[in-house]
Structure 1
Protein backbone atom coordinates (compact mmCIF):
# COMPACT_ATOMS: atom_id res chain seq x y z
CA UNK A 1 0.00 0.00 0.00
CA UNK A 2 2.64 2.50 1.02
CA UNK A 3 5.02 1.40 -1.73
CA UNK A 4 2.40 2.28 -4.35
CA UNK A 5 1.92 5.72 -2.83
CA UNK A 6 5.68 6.32 -2.77
CA UNK A 7 5.96 5.22 -6.41
CA UNK A 8 3.17 7.66 -7.33
CA UNK A 9 5.03 10.40 -5.48
CA UNK A 10 8.24 9.65 -7.43
CA UNK A 11 6.39 9.74 -10.78
CA UNK A 12 4.96 13.12 -9.95
CA UNK A 13 6.79 16.08 -11.46
CA UNK A 14 8.24 18.91 -9.39
CA UNK A 15 5.42 21.30 -10.25
CA UNK A 16 2.75 18.74 -9.39
CA UNK A 17 4.46 17.91 -6.07
CA UNK A 18 4.70 21.62 -5.28
CA UNK A 19 1.02 22.10 -6.10
CA UNK A 20 0.09 19.19 -3.83
CA UNK A 21 2.23 20.63 -1.00
CA UNK A 22 0.54 24.01 -1.41
CA UNK A 23 -2.87 22.35 -1.31
CA UNK A 24 -1.88 20.60 1.92
CA UNK A 25 -0.77 23.95 3.40
CA UNK A 26 -4.10 25.43 2.29
CA UNK A 27 -6.00 22.72 4.19
CA UNK A 28 -3.95 23.37 7.34
CA UNK A 29 -4.42 27.15 7.06
CA UNK A 30 -8.18 26.69 6.54
CA UNK A 31 -8.40 24.58 9.69
CA UNK A 32 -6.54 27.21 11.69
CA UNK A 33 -8.79 29.95 10.33
CA UNK A 34 -11.89 27.96 11.29
CA UNK A 35 -10.48 27.48 14.82
CA UNK A 36 -9.78 31.21 15.19
CA UNK A 37 -13.19 32.09 13.72
CA UNK A 38 -14.90 29.76 16.18
CA UNK A 39 -12.88 31.42 18.96
CA UNK A 40 -14.09 34.86 17.85
CA UNK A 41 -17.67 33.65 17.61
CA UNK A 42 -17.62 32.14 21.12
CA UNK A 43 -15.39 34.88 22.62
CA UNK A 44 -12.84 32.39 23.95
CA UNK A 45 -9.28 31.47 23.06
CA UNK A 46 -10.16 27.79 23.24
CA UNK A 47 -13.74 26.98 22.18
CA UNK A 48 -13.22 23.23 22.51
CA UNK A 49 -11.35 21.42 25.30
CA UNK A 50 -10.85 17.81 26.39
CA UNK A 51 -11.39 16.66 29.98
CA UNK A 52 -8.04 15.25 31.12
CA UNK A 53 -8.87 14.02 34.63
CA UNK A 54 -11.68 12.48 36.64
CA UNK A 55 -12.18 15.50 38.92
CA UNK A 56 -15.59 16.32 37.40
CA UNK A 57 -17.11 12.83 37.50
CA UNK A 58 -19.99 12.03 37.22
CA UNK A 59 -20.78 15.21 35.25
CA UNK A 60 -17.89 14.72 32.81
CA UNK A 61 -15.46 11.85 32.38
CA UNK A 62 -11.89 11.75 31.13
CA UNK A 63 -11.94 12.04 27.35
CA UNK A 64 -15.16 14.06 27.07
CA UNK A 65 -15.03 16.91 24.57
CA UNK A 66 -16.43 20.19 25.95
CA UNK A 67 -17.77 23.15 23.97
CA UNK A 68 -17.22 26.56 25.58
CA UNK A 69 -18.42 30.12 25.28
CA UNK A 70 -17.29 33.14 27.24
CA UNK A 71 -20.33 35.42 27.57
CA UNK A 72 -19.33 39.08 27.73
CA UNK A 73 -22.31 40.54 29.59
CA UNK A 74 -23.24 37.53 31.69
CA UNK A 75 -21.76 36.88 35.15
CA UNK A 76 -20.75 33.39 36.20
CA UNK A 77 -23.27 31.83 38.56
CA UNK A 78 -22.89 29.23 41.29
CA UNK A 79 -23.33 25.88 39.56
CA UNK A 80 -21.81 26.93 36.22
CA UNK A 81 -19.08 24.62 34.97
CA UNK A 82 -16.11 26.68 33.87
CA UNK A 83 -12.73 26.11 32.35
CA UNK A 84 -10.04 28.30 33.84
CA UNK A 85 -6.33 28.75 33.43
CA UNK A 86 -3.93 29.72 36.21
CA UNK A 87 -1.24 32.21 35.09
CA UNK A 88 1.99 30.35 34.39
CA UNK A 89 0.27 26.97 33.94
CA UNK A 90 -0.25 25.31 30.57
CA UNK A 91 -3.21 23.03 31.23
CA UNK A 92 -6.69 24.49 31.78
CA UNK A 93 -8.87 23.09 34.58
CA UNK A 94 -12.56 22.15 34.29
CA UNK A 95 -14.43 22.75 37.57
CA UNK A 96 -17.77 24.00 38.90
CA UNK A 97 -18.32 27.47 40.43
CA UNK A 98 -19.23 27.03 44.12
CA UNK A 99 -19.00 30.69 45.23
CA UNK A 100 -19.12 34.03 43.48
CA UNK A 101 -18.55 37.49 44.92
CA UNK A 102 -18.98 40.77 43.11
CA UNK A 103 -16.58 43.64 43.38
CA UNK A 104 -17.76 47.25 43.43
CA UNK A 105 -21.44 46.31 42.93
CA UNK A 106 -20.96 45.32 39.29
CA UNK A 107 -21.96 41.86 38.07
CA UNK A 108 -19.06 41.61 35.60
CA UNK A 109 -16.27 42.25 38.11
CA UNK A 110 -16.41 39.17 40.24
CA UNK A 111 -14.29 36.74 42.19
CA UNK A 112 -14.98 33.05 41.69
CA UNK A 113 -14.24 29.95 43.77
CA UNK A 114 -14.36 26.57 42.04
CA UNK A 115 -14.26 22.89 42.95
CA UNK A 116 -14.24 19.61 41.06
CA UNK A 117 -17.41 17.58 41.61
CA UNK A 118 -15.29 14.53 42.46
CA UNK A 119 -12.84 16.46 44.68
CA UNK A 120 -13.04 16.68 48.45
CA UNK A 121 -11.84 20.31 48.75
CA UNK A 122 -12.22 23.54 46.80
CA UNK A 123 -9.55 24.87 44.44
CA UNK A 124 -7.95 27.57 46.59
CA UNK A 125 -4.73 25.51 46.80
CA UNK A 126 -4.61 25.39 42.98
CA UNK A 127 -4.83 29.16 42.58
CA UNK A 128 -1.22 29.63 43.75
CA UNK A 129 -0.84 33.18 45.08
CA UNK A 130 -4.43 34.19 44.36
CA UNK A 131 -7.24 33.83 46.86
CA UNK A 132 -9.99 33.79 44.19
CA UNK A 133 -10.24 33.39 40.45
CA UNK A 134 -10.98 36.54 38.53
CA UNK A 135 -13.01 36.68 35.34
CA UNK A 136 -9.85 37.14 33.30
CA UNK A 137 -8.67 33.65 34.33
CA UNK A 138 -11.82 31.95 33.03
CA UNK A 139 -11.43 30.55 29.52
CA UNK A 140 -15.12 29.81 29.15
CA UNK A 141 -18.33 28.26 30.37
CA UNK A 142 -19.31 24.75 29.31
CA UNK A 143 -22.31 24.81 26.95
CA UNK A 144 -22.26 21.25 25.65
CA UNK A 145 -20.18 18.09 25.36
CA UNK A 146 -19.53 14.93 23.38
CA UNK A 147 -18.63 11.92 25.51
CA UNK A 148 -15.32 10.07 24.94
CA UNK A 149 -14.47 11.82 21.64
CA UNK A 150 -11.43 13.46 23.24
CA UNK A 151 -9.70 10.14 23.88
CA UNK A 152 -8.02 10.55 20.49
CA UNK A 153 -6.31 13.70 21.79
CA UNK A 154 -5.35 12.01 25.05
CA UNK A 155 -3.88 9.04 23.17
CA UNK A 156 -1.84 11.33 20.90
CA UNK A 157 -0.46 13.22 23.91
CA UNK A 158 0.31 10.06 25.88
CA UNK A 159 1.88 8.32 22.88
CA UNK A 160 3.53 10.94 20.59
CA UNK A 161 4.48 8.21 18.09
CA UNK A 162 0.79 7.91 17.18
CA UNK A 163 0.58 11.65 16.57
CA UNK A 164 3.66 11.72 14.33
CA UNK A 165 2.55 8.61 12.42
CA UNK A 166 -0.89 10.14 11.76
CA UNK A 167 0.61 13.46 10.69
CA UNK A 168 3.05 11.66 8.39
CA UNK A 169 0.26 9.59 6.82
CA UNK A 170 -1.91 12.66 6.32
CA UNK A 171 0.98 14.51 4.70
CA UNK A 172 1.78 11.56 2.43
CA UNK A 173 -1.84 11.13 1.34
CA UNK A 174 -2.18 14.86 0.74
CA UNK A 175 0.89 14.84 -1.49
CA UNK A 176 -0.16 11.86 -3.62
CA UNK A 177 -3.85 12.76 -3.83
CA UNK A 178 -4.67 13.70 -7.41
CA UNK A 179 -7.83 15.73 -6.84
Structure 2
Protein backbone atom coordinates (compact mmCIF):
# COMPACT_ATOMS: atom_id res chain seq x y z
CA UNK A 1 0.00 0.00 0.00
CA UNK A 2 2.80 2.43 0.88
CA UNK A 3 4.47 1.66 -2.43
CA UNK A 4 1.26 2.50 -4.28
CA UNK A 5 0.95 5.76 -2.35
CA UNK A 6 4.50 6.72 -3.30
CA UNK A 7 3.82 5.96 -6.95
CA UNK A 8 0.60 7.97 -6.83
CA UNK A 9 2.38 10.95 -5.26
CA UNK A 10 4.93 10.90 -8.08
CA UNK A 11 2.17 10.78 -10.69
CA UNK A 12 0.19 13.45 -8.86
CA UNK A 13 3.21 15.72 -8.59
CA UNK A 14 3.86 15.45 -12.30
CA UNK A 15 0.35 15.30 -13.75
CA UNK A 16 -1.87 16.36 -10.83
CA UNK A 17 -3.30 19.52 -12.36
CA UNK A 18 -4.21 17.71 -15.57
CA UNK A 19 -5.73 14.71 -13.76
CA UNK A 20 -7.90 16.77 -11.42
CA UNK A 21 -8.93 19.21 -14.13
CA UNK A 22 -10.12 16.37 -16.36
CA UNK A 23 -11.96 14.73 -13.45
CA UNK A 24 -13.62 18.03 -12.56
CA UNK A 25 -14.77 18.53 -16.17
CA UNK A 26 -16.15 14.99 -16.31
CA UNK A 27 -18.07 15.48 -13.05
CA UNK A 28 -19.44 18.84 -14.18
CA UNK A 29 -20.63 17.17 -17.38
CA UNK A 30 -22.21 14.27 -15.49
CA UNK A 31 -24.00 16.73 -13.22
CA UNK A 32 -25.38 18.38 -16.39
CA UNK A 33 -23.62 21.69 -15.86
CA UNK A 34 -24.08 23.76 -19.01
CA UNK A 35 -22.54 27.08 -18.00
CA UNK A 36 -19.13 27.74 -19.58
CA UNK A 37 -18.43 30.14 -16.71
CA UNK A 38 -18.87 27.30 -14.22
CA UNK A 39 -16.37 25.12 -16.09
CA UNK A 40 -13.81 27.91 -16.20
CA UNK A 41 -14.26 28.77 -12.53
CA UNK A 42 -13.93 25.12 -11.51
CA UNK A 43 -10.66 24.86 -13.43
CA UNK A 44 -9.47 28.16 -11.93
CA UNK A 45 -10.27 26.87 -8.43
CA UNK A 46 -8.11 23.79 -9.04
CA UNK A 47 -5.23 25.92 -10.28
CA UNK A 48 -5.51 28.17 -7.22
CA UNK A 49 -5.47 25.18 -4.88
CA UNK A 50 -2.24 24.04 -6.48
CA UNK A 51 -0.77 27.52 -6.39
CA UNK A 52 -1.40 27.79 -2.66
CA UNK A 53 0.01 24.30 -2.09
CA UNK A 54 -3.32 22.85 -1.01
CA UNK A 55 -3.45 20.08 -3.58
CA UNK A 56 -4.05 17.53 -0.82
CA UNK A 57 -7.60 18.90 -0.56
CA UNK A 58 -8.44 17.98 -4.12
CA UNK A 59 -9.02 14.25 -3.61
CA UNK A 60 -11.46 15.07 -0.80
CA UNK A 61 -13.29 17.66 -2.87
CA UNK A 62 -13.61 15.31 -5.81
CA UNK A 63 -14.41 12.42 -3.49
CA UNK A 64 -17.30 14.41 -2.07
CA UNK A 65 -18.55 15.19 -5.56
CA UNK A 66 -18.36 11.53 -6.53
CA UNK A 67 -20.23 10.54 -3.34
CA UNK A 68 -22.94 13.09 -4.14
CA UNK A 69 -23.20 11.72 -7.67
CA UNK A 70 -23.48 8.17 -6.33
CA UNK A 71 -26.26 9.21 -3.93
CA UNK A 72 -28.09 11.01 -6.72
CA UNK A 73 -27.81 7.92 -8.93
CA UNK A 74 -29.12 5.57 -6.23
CA UNK A 75 -32.01 7.89 -5.36
CA UNK A 76 -32.79 8.25 -9.04
CA UNK A 77 -33.07 4.49 -9.42
CA UNK A 78 -35.25 4.16 -6.32
CA UNK A 79 -37.53 7.07 -7.23
CA UNK A 80 -37.52 6.36 -10.98
CA UNK A 81 -36.43 9.82 -12.10
CA UNK A 82 -33.40 11.73 -13.34
CA UNK A 83 -34.19 14.47 -10.82
CA UNK A 84 -34.65 12.77 -7.41
CA UNK A 85 -33.84 16.01 -5.56
CA UNK A 86 -34.07 19.52 -6.99
CA UNK A 87 -33.03 22.67 -5.17
CA UNK A 88 -35.54 25.52 -5.28
CA UNK A 89 -33.91 28.54 -6.91
CA UNK A 90 -36.90 30.91 -7.17
CA UNK A 91 -39.85 31.97 -5.03
CA UNK A 92 -42.50 30.94 -7.57
CA UNK A 93 -44.02 28.43 -5.12
CA UNK A 94 -43.68 30.57 -1.99
CA UNK A 95 -46.78 31.05 0.17
CA UNK A 96 -46.92 34.45 1.85
CA UNK A 97 -49.30 37.41 2.13
CA UNK A 98 -49.86 37.33 -1.66
CA UNK A 99 -51.13 33.74 -1.61
CA UNK A 100 -54.74 34.77 -1.13
CA UNK A 101 -54.75 36.71 -4.41
CA UNK A 102 -52.14 34.96 -6.53
CA UNK A 103 -53.13 31.41 -5.59
CA UNK A 104 -56.65 31.05 -4.19
CA UNK A 105 -58.40 33.94 -5.91
CA UNK A 106 -56.66 33.31 -9.23
CA UNK A 107 -57.68 29.65 -9.25
CA UNK A 108 -61.22 30.46 -8.15
CA UNK A 109 -61.71 33.10 -10.84
CA UNK A 110 -59.83 31.48 -13.72
CA UNK A 111 -60.32 27.76 -13.10
CA UNK A 112 -63.53 27.66 -11.07
CA UNK A 113 -61.95 25.75 -8.17
CA UNK A 114 -63.14 26.25 -4.60
CA UNK A 115 -60.87 26.65 -1.59
CA UNK A 116 -61.57 23.24 -0.08
CA UNK A 117 -60.58 21.54 -3.34
CA UNK A 118 -57.40 23.62 -3.61
CA UNK A 119 -56.48 22.82 0.00
CA UNK A 120 -56.81 19.10 -0.71
CA UNK A 121 -53.84 19.24 -3.08
CA UNK A 122 -50.44 17.87 -2.04
CA UNK A 123 -47.72 20.30 -0.91
CA UNK A 124 -50.53 22.75 -0.19
CA UNK A 125 -48.28 25.18 1.71
CA UNK A 126 -45.76 25.53 -1.11
CA UNK A 127 -42.03 25.97 -0.48
CA UNK A 128 -39.31 28.59 -0.59
CA UNK A 129 -35.90 29.28 -2.09
CA UNK A 130 -33.32 26.87 -0.67
CA UNK A 131 -35.77 24.08 0.07
CA UNK A 132 -35.10 20.65 -1.42
CA UNK A 133 -38.10 18.88 -2.99
CA UNK A 134 -37.79 15.10 -3.27
CA UNK A 135 -39.18 13.95 -6.60
CA UNK A 136 -40.67 10.63 -7.70
CA UNK A 137 -41.27 9.58 -11.28
CA UNK A 138 -44.77 8.53 -12.30
CA UNK A 139 -46.77 7.43 -15.31
CA UNK A 140 -49.77 9.52 -14.32
CA UNK A 141 -50.20 13.02 -12.96
CA UNK A 142 -53.29 14.78 -11.69
CA UNK A 143 -54.47 18.32 -11.07
CA UNK A 144 -52.82 19.67 -7.93
CA UNK A 145 -49.59 17.70 -8.27
CA UNK A 146 -46.40 19.74 -8.01
CA UNK A 147 -44.21 18.52 -10.85
CA UNK A 148 -40.65 19.01 -12.03
CA UNK A 149 -40.30 19.45 -15.77
CA UNK A 150 -37.87 20.66 -18.38
CA UNK A 151 -38.45 23.53 -20.77
CA UNK A 152 -36.57 23.59 -24.10
CA UNK A 153 -33.92 26.29 -24.06
CA UNK A 154 -33.76 26.50 -20.27
CA UNK A 155 -31.10 24.76 -18.20
CA UNK A 156 -33.00 24.96 -14.91
CA UNK A 157 -36.02 22.67 -14.38
CA UNK A 158 -39.39 24.19 -13.48
CA UNK A 159 -41.11 23.18 -10.22
CA UNK A 160 -44.76 24.23 -10.56
CA UNK A 161 -48.23 22.88 -9.90
CA UNK A 162 -50.57 21.25 -12.42
CA UNK A 163 -53.76 23.30 -12.54
CA UNK A 164 -55.42 21.67 -15.54
CA UNK A 165 -55.13 18.65 -17.82
CA UNK A 166 -55.81 19.76 -21.38
CA UNK A 167 -58.00 17.74 -23.79
CA UNK A 168 -54.88 16.72 -25.76
CA UNK A 169 -53.30 15.22 -22.62
CA UNK A 170 -50.84 18.05 -22.01
CA UNK A 171 -50.71 19.87 -18.69
CA UNK A 172 -51.22 23.48 -17.67
CA UNK A 173 -49.08 24.56 -14.72
CA UNK A 174 -48.65 27.60 -12.50
CA UNK A 175 -46.42 28.69 -9.66
CA UNK A 176 -48.52 29.28 -6.52
CA UNK A 177 -46.75 32.59 -5.92
CA UNK A 178 -47.02 33.82 -9.51
CA UNK A 179 -49.80 36.19 -10.54
CA UNK A 180 -50.32 34.38 -13.84
CA UNK A 181 -49.03 31.78 -16.26
CA UNK A 182 -45.66 31.87 -17.96
CA UNK A 183 -45.69 31.35 -21.77
CA UNK A 184 -44.44 27.75 -21.60
CA UNK A 185 -46.97 26.66 -18.96
CA UNK A 186 -50.09 26.30 -21.06
CA UNK A 187 -49.14 23.02 -22.70
CA UNK A 188 -46.52 20.92 -20.89
CA UNK A 189 -46.01 17.54 -22.53
CA UNK A 190 -45.74 14.39 -20.47
CA UNK A 191 -42.28 13.63 -21.83
CA UNK A 192 -41.05 16.92 -20.35
CA UNK A 193 -42.02 15.86 -16.84
CA UNK A 194 -39.40 14.29 -14.58
CA UNK A 195 -41.69 13.49 -11.66
CA UNK A 196 -43.92 14.81 -8.88
CA UNK A 197 -42.78 16.32 -5.60
CA UNK A 198 -43.57 13.93 -2.75
CA UNK A 199 -42.13 15.90 0.17
CA UNK A 200 -39.91 18.86 1.00
CA UNK A 201 -36.68 19.00 3.00
CA UNK A 202 -36.45 22.62 4.23
CA UNK A 203 -33.30 24.63 3.44
CA UNK A 204 -31.18 21.65 2.43
CA UNK A 205 -30.85 23.00 -1.10
CA UNK A 206 -29.12 26.24 -0.17
CA UNK A 207 -25.72 24.98 -1.28
CA UNK A 208 -27.04 24.74 -4.83
CA UNK A 209 -28.68 28.17 -4.50
CA UNK A 210 -25.38 29.76 -3.47
CA UNK A 211 -23.58 27.87 -6.23
CA UNK A 212 -26.13 29.15 -8.74
CA UNK A 213 -25.82 32.75 -7.53
CA UNK A 214 -22.03 32.65 -7.79
CA UNK A 215 -21.40 30.51 -10.84
CA UNK A 216 -24.57 30.72 -12.90
CA UNK A 217 -27.14 28.14 -14.00
CA UNK A 218 -26.68 24.40 -13.93
Structure 1's consecutive aligned runs of 4 or more residues displaced over 6 angstroms after TM superposition are 18-21
Q: Which structure is higher in helix share?
A: 2
Query: Residue 170 of structure 2 corresponds to which residue in structure 1?
Result: 111
Deviation by residue 1:78-114 (Cα, 9 ceiling, x = unmatched): 11111111122101111110001354xxxxxx21000
Query: Residue 75 of structure 2 corresponds to which residue in structure 1?
Result: 38
> Unaligned stretches of 5+ in structure 1?
1-12, 104-109, 161-179
Pair 27,76 (structure 1): closer, same or farther in 2 beyond 3 Å = same
1:126 to 175, 184, 188: 184
- Using the size of structure 1 for normalisation, the TM-score is 0.65
Q: RMSD over aligned Cα, in angstroms?
A: 2.7
- 1:62 correspondence with 2:129: yes
Number of residue equivalences: 136
> Unaligned stretches of 5+ in structure 2?
13-55, 96-125
Q: Which structure is higher in strand share?
A: 1
CA distance in 1, matches of 2:141, 2:214: 36
1:156 to 207, 211, 216: 211
- 1:15 correspondence with 2:7: yes
